[in-house]
Amino acid sequence: MKIGFYPGCSLKGSSREYNESVVAIAKALDIELVEIKDWNCCGATAAHSMNEELSLSLPARILALAEAQGLKEVVVPCAACYNRLMVTQHELKDDNKRGRVTDIIKMSYSGDLKIINVLQMLETYAMDKIQAKVTKPFAHKVACYYGCLLIRPHKILQFDRVEDPQSMDTMIKLIGGNPIDWAFKTECCGAGFSVSRTDLVAKLSGNILQDAADRSAEAIIVACPMCQSNLDMRRGAINETLSKPSDIPVLFITQAIGLALGVSPKELGLERHFVTVKL
Amino acid sequence: MSKIGVFICHCGENISATVDCERVAQEIRKVEGVEYAIDYKYMCSDPGQTLIKDAIREHHLDGVVVGSCSPRMHEPTFRKACAEAGLNPFLCEMANLREHCSWVHEKGEATTEKAFDLVKMLVEKVKRNKPLDSIKVPITKKALVIGGGIAGIQASLDIANTGHQVILIEKDPSIGGHMSQLSETFPTLDCSQCILTPRMVEVAQHPNITLYTYAELDSLEGFIGNFTAKIRLKAKSVDHKKCTGCGACFQKCPQKRIPSEFNAGLGNRTAIYVPFPQAVPNKPVIDREHCNYYKRGKCKICEATCPTGAIEWDKEDEIITEQVGAIVVTTGFNVKGADFFPEYGYGKYKDVLTGLQFERLASASGPTLGEIRRPSDGTIPKKIVFIACAGSRDPAKGIPYCSKICCMYTAKHAMLYQHKVHDGESTVFYMDIRAGGKNYEEFVRRAIEEDHVNYVRGRVARVYEKDGKLIVKGVDTLLSGQQVEIEADMVVLATAGVSNCGAEQLAQKMHISYDPYHFFAEAHPKLKPVETNTAGIFLAGACQAPKDIPETVGMASGAAVKVAGLFSNNELVREPLIAVVNRCAPPQFSTCVGCFMCQTACPYNAIEREEIKGRDGKVIKTVAKVNPGLCQGCGTCVAFCRSKSIDIQGYSNEQMFAEVMSLLNH
Amino acid sequence: MENNNKISGDLLLHTSVDVARCYQCGKCTAGCVLASEMNFPPSYLMRLLQTGTEENYERILRSNTIWLCLNCENCLGRCPMEIDIPKVMDYLREQSLNSNKLHPDAKPIVSFHKSFLDSIKYTGRLYEVGLIAGFKARSFRLTQDLKLAPKMYLNGKLNLMPEMIKDRKGIGEIFAKTIDNPKTKHK
């Protein structure tokens, strides 16, 4: 089956392994990803913090491009991009806003595109296939970390539940893993402060890692490039705030599934991580 | 020739501000049949009524039209005035010039014209009115009380003590309700069961009260003074006439791990059980859903143990029919469980409890015999956090109202804990303290000043478990929003009070109104708290809204007095605005052909068959007959009748057409 | 009844948030991960807005609270009155920027956002090297993260050349009509 695909800037750069793993498991599960042509950055945190119209126009252009390309459904693996696209689609239901934004982007926009995240894509199209194709059960005790943007605001995203979400946990169980019940599933990792306030990222991500470590998790599973980057790339800074440095690796959910399906670690980009993935 | 008197009321300014009352009176005087017309400032007042009475006598009026407010306000007033002047009260009609005219239109020519039209319509109608007599219906002087908590118990005792019979039904195996689950009551810290059980026993022993436990209302028909209630007596599987309450059976029952409803899920009970030691009646029932015999055909140990052979395996539910004159609904309320709260663990943490569960821990008859212990490991908690407003005042969770009793019972819980665990630390996270009753404020101050309960103003964002402790993330808004984190051993949520399960279905069975939260609706929020919009059905207690015990008892006694008032008459007077099948001279006797479409159509089962017999006793024809006691005057039969043989007295077809024609011929 | 206060009136118009609905329960603050770092936490900010005074509004715009807020949305997720605090924060940020009332702590954060947006304006997609260069130039943090760069490059995560989209003109126009439009500052 075919589905539209919006990688976003992180998947092309600092979270390249997320892209690789998404592509790898899509191939294994017979899902053809059709990338939106000439897509632009969604604006992420910077746009909505600085100017509302910009923050709506950039995603609107992406949605308009997808529509023009004839795509009906688009999967957005990056949680931040997913959030921005969904929020924009919701805000543009208001006639005034839609009028202003379509004027700005000078493209036609209907708002009918179905936007899903990578977990929804797997839940809708691949659950039986995954179950059937597991060759190396992912027999590990892991902490599923959802972060903020995948789940909230619930009114707009309508995905999973706001406290103690379960979609990744279910996925992990499906591939033979053991997801733990822990306390920091949805507490923010420090988001876009990776560069401007690394100290805050170290503190917030540190709390997350500490709880996972206290509960003997072997790995943390994520579905957001920012979370992965904060927990992985910034491990040095985090370890300075912990009483005991932690070497718990941080994997994308698609990487975990890939491993269970027998895809090689290299193809899944596991060698690009800062914290060595030895599972 | 008619001689009708028309009286136009100014209603102070309510009507005269937009309608030219003087002109309406002048114009109506010109209509054929109107003998006398006048306008006056307050027709319902004493001088106003005197005007009507004097006019009736002086001008020998045979009909009266009062152009004033809604008949729902003053129809009885004006009819009584007419009766006092010797005119049959049903020859008096009201034209609604207020709610239907002056209150909904602007001042102007059109409004005055409409007022005139309305009065003229009623004049045409009254020309065709016939004198009628009120119908007198006997009253069954027996009350039905639904729900055996403190409200039902109080209402039953009060009605029974006036000398009338009461049937009290309770769906659980014992009466007592939530009050029997409490350990102590605020603000006196009286032992709840000690003050309740004497009343429970009184109910069981009262000669005027018939108590049916494990029973529910199956259906209700009829009307005030004349209800027919079908009550389902659920099969107890134990013959209470043979059972002595010795208790041998439940000691031997092998099914011991059924969560006890009385202990709010904290303790267990057996399949054959008495809910608590002071239950009334103190005889067991078998829970067929969990009993080995009913599930798998095995066991029967209770039967073997029973010394009097009281077990009845094959007993079915029984439906009994009772005629009652009034009903008091006292079905009480429920509380939300811990699983309702995502941020407090969705019910997965054993040591996060509801207020009701904490009552059971504190109660001497509870699962821990009154010791406060953690359900997870049985240890005594050294730090407890109480969270007020858990679910209440929370539009996001669908419960915007305040549950009224939680501030008080939270203070009580914290005090009980401090009394039982002297070195314990309790913290209450609150938003406001609602302590409006007598001695309530002093009670809360006692908790803070004498028992050293820590009150922190702020809510709790989340609770999670780590290393056997519950981490509570709260805030102190009085310290400019300083975050407060507590590692507690136990968390007690003052969960929202909600309507009891099955409230909606019960309301629909009885045809009483309820609000969006399924609390039953009172007839008027200020002045009629114990009545419903359905005549003859009264309310008391928490089924109407969450409330404390003194208010509940007050309401129950109030409802009882309404019932006693109703029963103090020998007959109920009903308006004669009912359907009647016509009669004429032989050989026709009636234009009714006996098709009985009306009987099929009637929603109140008010139509019967009547045989018209000749002198030789042979049946000539069978026609329809309306039971004046049951007919509500809805008119459905009139619409159905193909031979136009049935009509409503006081609202006949002829009268209706006359009104419409008067409007069209304006 | 009409609300006569300009501050809460404008806020209602642009964010649909009615500050009167906040009953100061503090649940937002209780769950806010960065409340302890802020000048004042979210529930306090709501109270300042409720007073409606210019003085308190100035305090808000000049605070670091609005810039430290991560828009993690935990507050909105738990608020019993469903008050959209993240949206209020976005609105206040724009107000603070347009009226030049930035808290000193906010400067590096704003510099980062500006560098991010600059990078997109010219290429259509995020050019990380450009972003970091721009940020360092604005914030003078020349040696920050120098150790990370080589490892990022070796892991294949750092593109030395930017990815340029075709319709760069279209992106430029979007910027010109929104954030770079002098007429839309100060709404």
Q: Is the pLDDT of residue C186 over 60?
A: no
Tens-digit pLDDT profile for residues B199-228: 999 999 999 999 999 999 999 998 889 999
Q: Is the pLDDT of residue B57 over 50?
A: yes
A34: contact with B, CB 8 A cutoff:
no
- Sorted by where each begins, the domain ranges of chain C are 6-98, 106-184
Q: Is the pLDDT of residue C27 over 70?
A: yes
| Distance between CA atoms of residues A90 and A55, nearest Å | 13
Tens-digit pLDDT profile for residues B596-633: 999 999 887 789 999 999 889 899 999 999 988 778 89
- Sorted by where each begins, the domain ranges of chain B are 4-133, 135-234+317-332+512-573, 236-316, 334-498, 579-648
Position A251 confidence tier, pLDDT thresholds 50, 70, 90: very high
Nearest Cβ partner for A50 among C76, C97, C108: C97
| Domain B135-234+317-332+512-573 sits in CATH 3.50.50.60 | yes
Same structural domain for residues A78 and A201? no
Helix axes B549-567, B150-160, angle to 10 degrees: 30
Note whether A188 contacts C33, CB cutoff 8 Å.
yes
Q: Is the pLDDT of residue B147 over 90?
A: yes
| Domain B4-133 sits in CATH 3.40.50 | yes
Which ranges of B206-291 does DSSP label H, i.e. alpha helix?
A: 248-252
Residue A32 lies in a domain: yes
What number of C-beta contacts closer than 8 Å exist between B and C? 74
CATH number for the region C6-98 comes to: 1.10.1060.10
Note whether A163 contacts B342, CB cutoff 8 Å.
yes
Residue A128 lies in a domain: no
Radius of gyration of chain B (CA): 32
Closest CA of chain C from B518, distance in Å? 21
Q: Give the chain C residue whose CA is nearest to the CA of A187.
A: C33
The mean of the pLDDT values for chain B is: 95
| Distance between CA atoms of residues C113 and C175, nearest Å | 14
Tens-digit pLDDT profile for residues B36-51: 999 999 999 999 999 9
The arithmetic mean of pLDDT across residues B445-473, rounded, is 96
Same structural domain for residues A81 and A112? yes
Q: Which CATH class is domain B236-316?
A: alpha beta
Q: What is the model's pLDDT at position C185?
A: 54
Q: Is the pLDDT of residue A236 over 70?
A: yes
Residues 48-67 of C with CB under 8 A from A: none
Tens-digit pLDDT profile for residues A177-208: 999 999 999 999 998 899 889 999 999 999 99
In order of B149, B165, B229, B450, B523, the CA distances from B325 in angstroms are 22, 10, 10, 52, 19
Residues 86-125 of A with CB under 8 A from B: none
Tens-digit pLDDT profile for residues B348-383: 999 999 999 999 999 998 999 999 999 999 999 999
With pLDDT > 90 as the criterion, what percentage of chain B qualifies? 92
Contacts of B471 in chain A (CB under 8 A): 183
**Domains B236-316 and B579-648 alike in fold:** yes
Radius of gyration of chain A (CA): 18
Residue A278 lies in a domain: no
Residue A123 lies in a domain: no
Tens-digit pLDDT profile for residues B403-452: 999 999 999 999 999 999 999 999 999 999 999 999 999 999 999 999 99
User: Can you read off the two tokens belonging to residue B567?
Assistant: 């029963």
Q: What is the model's pLDDT at position B266?
A: 94
Q: Which CATH superfamily is domain B334-498 in?
A: FAD/NAD(P)-binding domain (3.50.50.60)
Q: Is the pLDDT of residue C7 over 50?
A: yes
Q: Note down the domain range covering A176.
A: 135-272
Tens-digit pLDDT profile for residues B485-522: 999 999 999 999 999 999 999 999 998 999 999 999 99
The arithmetic mean of pLDDT across residues C122-137, rounded, is 86
Tens-digit pLDDT profile for residues B296-310: 998 999 999 999 999
Q: Is the pLDDT of residue B659 over 60?
A: yes
What's the whole-model pTM score?
A: 0.87
The arithmetic mean of pLDDT across residues B168-191, rounded, is 96
What number of C-beta contacts closer than 8 Å exist between A and B? 17
The mean of the pLDDT values for chain A is: 94
The arithmetic mean of pLDDT across residues B556-584, rounded, is 94
Q: What is the model's pLDDT at position A14?
A: 87
Task: State the ipTM, two decimals.
Answer: 0.91
In what order do the strands lie in the sheet containing A178-179?
A178-179, A141-144, A219-222, A250-252
Q: Give the chain C residue whose CA is nearest to the CA of A185.
A: C74
Q: What is the model's pLDDT at position C153?
A: 80
Position B312 confidence tier, pLDDT thresholds 50, 70, 90: very high
Q: Is the pLDDT of residue C184 over 70?
A: no
| Phi/psi of residue B178, nearest 5 degrees | -65, -30
Output b/e per residue, B501-517; b: 16+ Cβ within 10 A.
Answer: eebeebbebbebebeeb
Q: Is the pLDDT of residue A265 over 80?
A: yes
Neighbours of B535 (CB within 10 A): 14
Q: Subunits that touch chain B (at least 3 Cβ pairs < 8 angstroms)?
A: A, C
Q: What is the model's pLDDT at position A168?
A: 96
